[in-house]
Amino acid sequence: MVNKHLIVISVEENPELNLEELCHACDVTPEFIHNLIDYGVIEPRGFADENWRFDAEQVRRVRIITRLQHDLEVNIAGAALVLDLMDQMEKMRSRLELFDRYFK
């Protein structure tokens, strides 16, 4: 069934999330986020829980970690390592593309 209607909506470019919003966005518990912070996988701004602010980039990271945990049985330390390697790979991939274009 196709139901089409057009809505014009505003977009938040660099949203900052508090702990509750981050948990809601990623469907995880605050304890899980505490754990990720202990492992240095994500970094909040601010000190106490209620003052923590997370940039939206963390939503992507947390969701990748939960998927890796669920689908591949990776633990948090392992998932953190995968994330770091993925970041490095992303950089290397654009360098490689540049290299390939330079040396045709």
Partner 1 sequence: MEYKDYYEVMGVSRTASPDDIKRSYRKLARKYHPDVSKEANAEEKFKEVQEAYEVLKDPKKREAYDQLGSQWKSGQEFRPPPGWQGFGDFGAGGGGGASFEGVDLGGFSDFFESFFGSRGGHAPRSRQQHAHREFHMRGSDQHAKIGITLEEAYNGGAKSVHLQTQEVDAQGHVQHKTRTLKINIPKGVVPGQQLRLSQQGAPGMGGAPAGDLFLEIEILPHHLFTLEGHDVYINLPITPWEAALGSKINVPTLGGPVDMKIAPNSQGGQKLRLKGRGLTSKTQPGDQYVLLQIMTPPAETESQRELYEKMAQEMPYNPRQHFSQ
Residues that bind partner 1 (CB under 8 A): 1-15, 24-25, 27, 56-57, 59-60, 63-64, 67-68, 71-73, 82, 86, 91, 94-95, 97-98, 101-102
From CA 9, how far away is CA 2, in angstroms rounded? 21
Question: Please, what is the minimum distance in Å from the beta carbon of residue 4 to partner 1?
Answer: 6
Quote the DSSP letter at residue 42: S
Instruction: Give the span between the Cα atoms of 28 and 57, in whole angstroms.
Output: 16
DSSP character at residue 44: -
Return the number of the residue (48 or 104) whose C-beta is nearest partner 1.
104
Distance CA 12, CA 18 (A): 15
CB of 84 to partner 1, least distance (A): 13
With beta carbons less than 8 A apart as the criterion, state whether 39 and 79 touch.
no
